[in-house]
A and B are shown apart, each in its own frame.
Chain A
Amino acid sequence: MSQVENQQVSERVRRYVVDNFLYMQPGYELTDEDPLLGKGIVDSLGVMELISFVEDELGVQVADTDVTEQHFGSIGAIARYVERVRAAH
Chain B
Amino acid sequence: MCGIAGVARAGASGVCESTLARMAHALIHRGPDGHGVWADEHVGLAHTRLTVIDLVSGAQPLANEDGQVLVTYNGEIYNYRELRRQLEARGHRFRTTSDTETIVHAYEEWGDACVERFIGQFAFAVYDRRRRRVMLARDRFGVRPLFYAERAGSLYFASEVKALFATGEVPAAPDLAGLDEVFTMWGARAPRTPFLGVRQLEPGTIAVWERGRLRVSRYYALDYPEARDETPDALERLDALMRDSVALRLRADVPVGGYLSGGLDSSITCALASAGSPHTLRTFSVAFEDPALDESAFQQVVARDLASDHAVTRIGAGDIARVFPDVVRHTETPVVRTAPAPMYLLAQLTRERGITVVLTGEGADELFLGYDLFKETKVRHFCLRRPGSHARPRLFDRLYPYLGHGRAGEMWRRSFLDAGAPSDPLFSHLPRFVSTARTKAFYSAETRAALTGVDVVDELRQSLPAAFARWSPENRAAYLEMTTLLASYLLSSQGERMGMAHGVEGRFPFLDHRLFEFAAALPTGSKLRGLKEKEILKRWARRVVPPSVTARHKQPYRAPDAPAFFGTGQPEYVRELLSESSVRRVGLFDPAAVAGLVRRAESGRVTGFGENQALVGILSAQIWHDTFFRSAAVPAPARAPAFPSALGAAASAA
Contact = CB atoms under 8 A, between A and B. Distances in A.
A54 to B, nearest CB: 12
A24 B415 contact: no
B304 to A, nearest CB: 38
B407 A20 contact: no
A68 to B, nearest CB: 5
Contacts of B415: 37, 43-44, 47
Nearest to B439: A24
A20 B411 contact: no
Interface in B408-462: 408-412, 414-416, 418, 434-435, 438, 441-442
B593 interface: yes
B596 A48 contact: no
A38 B434 CA distance: 12
Contact of B608 (A25, A38, A45): A45
B630 interface: no
Contacts of A29: none
A14 to B, nearest CB: 16
B610 A69 contact: no
Contacts of A24: 441-442, 590, 593, 596-597
A24 B590 CA distance: 8
B406 interface: yes
B418 A45 contact: no
B593 A23 contact: yes
B228 to A, nearest CB: 37
A64 B409 contact: yes
Interface in B76-104: none
B434 A68 contact: no
Most chain B beta carbons < 10 A, residue from A23, A64, A68, A72: A23
A51 interface: yes
Interface string A37-69: 110100111111101000000000010110111
Interface string A55-89: 00000001011011100110000000000000000
Interface of A: 19-20, 23-26, 37-38, 40, 43-49, 51, 62, 64-65, 67-69, 72-73
Contacts of B435: 43
Shortest 6 CB-CB contacts between residues of A and residues of B: A23-B596, A24-B593, A45-B608, A67-B409, A44-B412, A24-B441
B625 to A, nearest CB: 19
B467 interface: no
Contacts of B129: none
B55 interface: no
A20 B600 contact: yes
B411 A37 contact: yes
A46 to B, nearest CB: 7
A45 B606 CA distance: 10
B388 to A, nearest CB: 14
Interface in B601-638: 605, 607-610
22 contacts: A24-B590, A24-B593, A24-B596, A24-B597, A25-B593, A37-B415, A37-B418, A43-B438, A44-B403, A44-B405, A44-B412, A44-B416, A45-B609, A46-B608, A48-B408, A48-B412, A51-B408, A65-B409, A67-B407, A67-B408, A67-B412, A69-B410
User: What's the dominant secondary structure at chain B's contact region?
Assistant: helix
Interface residues of B, number: 31
A68 B409 contact: yes
Given A24-B593, A64-B406, A72-B411, 20 more contacts: A23-B592, A23-B596, A24-B442, A26-B592, A43-B415, A43-B438, A44-B405, A44-B408, A44-B412, A44-B416, A45-B610, A47-B415, A48-B408, A48-B412, A49-B607, A49-B608, A64-B407, A67-B412, A69-B411, A69-B414
A26 B409 CA distance: 30
Nearest to B441: A24
A69 B418 CA distance: 13
A43 B592 CA distance: 22
B418 A49 contact: no
B411 A68 contact: yes
Contacts of B596: 19, 23-24
A67 B610 contact: no
A55 B595 CA distance: 27
A47 B408 contact: yes
Given A23-B596, A43-B608, A51 B412 contact: no
A65 B596 CA distance: 33
A49 B410 CA distance: 15
Contact of B610 (A37, A43, A62, A73): A43
Interface string B573-601: 00000000000000000101100110110
A80 B405 CA distance: 23
A47 to B, nearest CB: 5
A64 B406 CA distance: 8
A40 B410 CA distance: 16
B257 to A, nearest CB: 38
Nearest to A26: B592
Contacts of B403: 44
Nearest to B400: A44
Contacts of B405: 44, 48
A49 B407 contact: no
B68 to A, nearest CB: 59
A68 B410 contact: yes
Nearest to B416: A44
A47 B412 contact: yes
A68 B434 CA distance: 22
A26 B610 CA distance: 18
Given A20-B600, A24-B441, A37-B418, A67 B608 contact: no
Nearest to B592: A26
A51 B407 contact: yes
Contact of A45 (B442, B592, B600, B607): B607
A38 B417 CA distance: 11
A13 to B, nearest CB: 15
Contact of A49 (B414, B597, B605): B605
Contact of B411 (A19, A26, A47, A49): A47
A37 B408 CA distance: 12
Most chain A beta carbons < 10 A, residue from B412, B438, B600: B412
B580 to A, nearest CB: 14
A24 B614 CA distance: 11
Contacts of A38: 418
B411 A73 contact: yes
